[in-house]
Amino acid sequence: MSSSHTPANGSSKTTIAAESPTHLILQMALRDVSVLFRTPWIIITRSLAFIIQLFVFAFLISGLIHIPGLNFFEYYAVGSVVATIASISFVIGYDIFEEAEEGVLDYLLTLPIARRQFIIGRALGGAMRAIIYTIPMFVIVAFVWGFNQPLSILTALVSLFLLAFGVTGMSITVAVSVKSANRFDVVLALLELAVSRGSTALYPIAFMPFYVSLFAPFSPVSFAADTARNSLVGFTLDIPAIAGLVAFVVIFLGLGAAFYFRRLEGGIYG
C-alpha cells in the first residue's frame, strides 16, 4: 500500500498488481481500520457517552413509559447500539472528503488497484471500524440483559455489519457527489439525522409523529434494529428485514461506485 505510481517502484507495482482482488480490498479496508487504533480515545469517549445515555437517560425515561408487553429499557438498549453504529458509519464520508481536499485521495488513486475494489475496500473498512467502535457497547447490553445465545448474537452482529456496510456506501456517495465543504457537512448531518432518528431504533412506531411513521419502517436502521431485537429477544430470524439490509448495501455500493467513477472522469474537483 505504500508504493506509488512511479517508475522507481515498478517491481512493487507488479507485486501489488499480482495480488488477488480480495487481498487488495482487505488491504484498503485495514488502512481505514488502522486509523481507529491511532486514536483509541474516540472509543473510550463514545463508550462513556453510551453508558451515560443508557443508564441515565434511558433509565429515567423508561420509568415514564409503560407499554403492555414491552420493556422499553431493553428496547432502547438494543436500539441505541444500532443507532450508534449507523451514526459512526457516516464518518468514512468525512475521511474521504478531507482526503480529496488534502490531495491524499489523488495519491491513493495512483495505486494499482481497480476503482471498484477501492470503493468496496473503503466501505468495508468503514464498516469494520464501526463494528469495532460499537463492540464495547454491544457487550455491555448483552451482559446487562443476559443475551447469551451464540446464534442470536451472531445474527444481531451480522445485521449491524450489513447496516454499517450500507451506510458507509451512502456516506461515500455523498462525499463524492457534493463539492462544497459547507454543503457537504449539512447534507451528511441531515442524512444522518433522518436515517438514525427516523427509524424504530429508539422509539416504537406507534408513538412517532404521523409524518415520521410513514417512512420509518423502511429505514435501514429500522431493518437492523428489528433484526437485532427479534434475534436477541424473540430468538427469531427476520428474513424481510435482512433482505432489506442486503438490498440497501447493494444499492449504495453501486451508487457510490457510479458517482465515484463519474467524479474521476471529470476530475476530483470537476
| Torsion angle, alpha carbons of 203, 209, 211, 212, to 10 | -10
Question: What does each of the 270 residues of the chain score in pLDDT, given as a tens digit?
Answer: 434 343 444 444 444 445 787 888 888 888 888 877 776 776 677 778 888 888 888 888 888 777 887 888 899 999 999 998 998 888 888 888 888 777 777 777 677 777 778 888 888 998 998 998 888 889 989 998 889 899 999 999 999 999 999 999 889 888 878 888 889 889 998 998 888 889 999 888 888 889 899 999 999 999 999 999 999 988 888 899 999 999 999 998 888 777 777 765 555 444
Instruction: Find out whether 57 and 176 touch, Cβ atoms under 8 Å.
Output: no
Instruction: Specify the residue for cell string 468496496.
Output: 120
Cα–Cα distance for residue pair 247/224, rounded to 1 Å: 12
Query: What is the model's pLDDT at position 131?
Result: 92
Cα–Cα distance for residue pair 92/171, rounded to 1 Å: 7
Which one-letter amino acid corresponds to residue 175? A
Query: What is the model's pLDDT at position 5?
Result: 41
Which one-letter amino acid corresponds to residue 47? S
Query: What is the model's pLDDT at position 270?
Result: 43
Query: What is the model's pLDDT at position 155?
Result: 93
Handedness of CA 66, 147, 242, 49 (dihedral sign): positive
Q: Residue 5 has which C-alpha cell?
A: 505510481
| Torsion angle, alpha carbons of 13, 16, 18, 22, to 10 | -150
